[in-house]
Structure 1
């Protein structure tokens, strides 16, 4: 008897008790089953369909297993550091797969308004999904700077790509994410080999970002809060682009990590009471300036109306 076997199986049930009882058996045969009364099933089906469509649209030959390094720059730059790092990586390993992701030049004004960069975020998500379709058995590694860290982390957090590709090493530098971003959930979901968050303690652009830009923060200055053995903060006595302008930085800290799994600790913070006080004052700025601006705008609006 000839028949076609399904490629993907997703089931719905109105019996949650039975779902809980037989969940392990369903997982053992890669059968995804959901509670009909929980909206999770709709999201799962939508995500799976989008991934299938994206994989069919790529029209690319699927490649064998390999490490892929995705380099993503920030705003107000053409990403020269991507070329510099690519050269260093290929000098050490000529056949290493490097992808330099670029997007249109962003001004500081554009980053203030979330609706102005929705398309860039969506394009990045589509890029990563297509990448997993082309290299289904590859390990994806990410090195991202500034707004590029926002694109990378949010894509890994919100999409279902971890079902289709393994995540290796992630290097974030000058990150515009908030320090209290839920990195624990990201780590639990994607199981990366290690996330390294490079911080510049003199990163003034991130002070402004944390103060004036809704939804963004200064994890690239203060580090991520909490603890995980898969997340390491490193603190350097430099600014927003210190990691590219400091001579020998990539050779000393990144190449050993990338090629030899060697992580070198560094903490250039001055742990004094005076410094703690300064940091506390900086942390108060968003709670003062943003509400203050809103009040001023409201007063001007009222005065204009009356």
Structure 2
């Protein structure tokens, strides 16, 4: 993922860039931060950015007069060899009037990659920025081609995993460095899934195959994506991995595991683990309420702190939202999974949850029913048996 910092106090121009980036073909591969003063930019640039887009005329602090002096001093600080700030790989200057540079023209010419006319009545400067971003992305992709990678996918129940091939085709658009392994186990029906002993047997069988695949791929960078029942298979497989086996990225989505269940054994063996959650995943809610041994970690998240190694992310949608388009018209996998699979940057946090009236009561009822479900199911089975044999 490319990290971009935009330093601009012009709200119309900033909004113009936001709309342009959101509609671009590379929207899922960039992470853009915005600030409007030189001092805020200095705080941001203690981290490394790939691209700095800098307004030539900015204020030093909020409420102060904008001046080219502030941007030139920021640029000198950032580009100074012994500075505490990290110099971006590319710097683009923006100005609505090139004469605004004045005596600071030389500073920008020496330290900026390019200075563009950023007038709002033109759009060619945005096209130039897009070209620079695509160039940076192309360089990253070329660097990645020298590394062998493996993408392992595991599907859920009541499906043959059509999404696995769709994900493969999407990844191929951006990288040629992947080997693809689609772990399949046939159509697993709902009744067999709900019955604990049948489910456990299938988990053990497929997990053994997954362990074999991971062990054989140890010489490559391993990435795993699992949906629904597949997340339980991944969890079981990680319990049997050898000490030398390490996985780069694990993406779990729609997981029917219990939210209180520990996945430390997965997180400890992988560089980054992401648990994707659908707030309207009623399939998982049903599983938590009525199926023994199942939960809704893919709805409410695992009870684990978000860190640089593990993140719960929350979206509006149901059990299959991960294979649909998002609001920008892009596929979910392109916008949210490509940055993880193709880059090593920090995982972007995401949370679309909205509090609602009566939420505490709903969650209380769900908690009580799910904690008593084993007893309720046992009582129901006993009642049916009593009526059958004694009624």
TM-score by length of 1: 0.72
Shift of 1:268: 1.1
User: How many Å separate the matches in 2 of 1:255 and 1:132?
Assistant: 21
For residues 212-255 of structure 1, the C-alpha deviation after alignment (integer angstroms, 9 at most, x for no partner) is: 22211100001000225221011111000001023421111111
Are the aligned partners of 1:137 and 1:165 in contact in 2 as well (CA < 8 Å)? no
Q: Is the 8 A contact 2:149 2:179 kept in 1?
A: yes
1:169 aligns with 2:252: no
SS in structure 1 opposite 2:249? strand
Structure 1 unaligned blocks of 5 or more: 1-63
Q: Does the aligned pair in 2 maintain the 1:138–1:166 contact within 8 Å?
A: no
C-alpha separation in 2, matches of 1:154 and 1:129: 9
Structure 1 residue 266: deviation in Å? 1.3
CA distance in 2, matches of 1:277, 1:75: 31
Aligned equivalent of 2:383: 299
Q: Residue 370 of structure 2 corresponds to which residue in structure 1? A: 286
Question: What is the distance in 1 between the residues matched to 2:178 and 2:211?
Answer: 21
Cα 1:94–1:163 change in 2 (3 A) is same
Alpha-carbon spacing, 1:120–1:84, altered in 2? closer, same or farther (3 Å)? same
Shift of 1:82: 0.8
After superposition, residues 188-199 of structure 1 pair within 5 angstroms as 188=268, 190=269, 192-199=270-277
RMSD in angstroms over aligned alpha carbons?
Answer: 2.2
Q: Distance in 2 between matches of 1:258 and 1:126?
A: 24
Q: Tell me which of 293, 297, 302 is aligned to 1:215.
A: 293
2:350 is aligned to 266
Aligned counterparts of 1:226 and 1:209: Cα–Cα separation in 2: 21
How far apart in 1 are the matches of 2:294 and 2:373?
15
Distance 2:246 2:221 in 1: 5
Partner Cα distance (2:170, 2:276) in 1: 19
Alignment match, 2:187: 105
Q: Secondary structure of 2:370's partner?
A: helix
Whether the aligned pair in 1 keeps the contact of 2:208 and 2:237 (CA below 8 Å) is no
Q: Which has the higher helix share?
A: 1
Q: Give the one of 306, 318, 328 matched to 1:239.
A: 318
Q: Render the CA deviation track for 1:110-155: whole Å, top value 9, x for unaligned.
A: 1111322344323323323322443333332210000000100121
Contact kept? 1:173, 1:199, Cα under 8 Å: yes
Give TM-score, length-normalised by structure 2: 0.57
Larger radius of gyration: 2
Q: Who is 1:68 aligned against?
A: 150
Count of residue correspondences: 239
- Residue pair 1:74, 1:146 contacting (<8 A) in 2 also: yes
Whether the 8 Å CA contact 2:282–2:319 is kept in 1: the answer is: yes
- Work out whether residues 111 and 213 of structure 1, in 8 Å CA contact, stay in contact via their aligned partners in 2: no
> 1:127: which partner in 2?
209
Q: Which moved more, 1:216-225 or 1:261-270?
A: 261-270
- CA–CA separation in structure 1 for the residues paired with 2:265 and 2:215: 24
Q: Partners in 2 of 1:112 and 1:132 — Cα distance?
A: 28
What is the aligned partner in structure 1 of residue 360 from structure 2?
276
Q: What SS does the aligned partner of 1:243 have?
A: helix
> Which runs of 5 or more structure 2 residues have no equivalent in the other structure?
1-145
Does residue 227 (structure 1) correspond to residue 289 (structure 2)? The answer is no
Question: What SS does structure 2 have at the residue aligned with 1:163?
Answer: coil
- Return closer, same or farther for 1:163/1:76 CA change in 2, 3 Å cut-off: same
Other-structure match for 1:58: none
Higher relative contact order (CA 8 A, sep 6+): 1
Compute the displacement of 1:300 (Å).
Answer: 4.0
C-alpha contact 1:65 1:135 (8 A) present in aligned 2: no
Runs of 4+, deviation exceeding 6 Å: none
How far apart, CA to CA, are the structure 1 residues paired with 2:380 and 2:208?
40
Q: Could you tell which deviates more after superposition, 107-116 or 123-132? A: 123-132
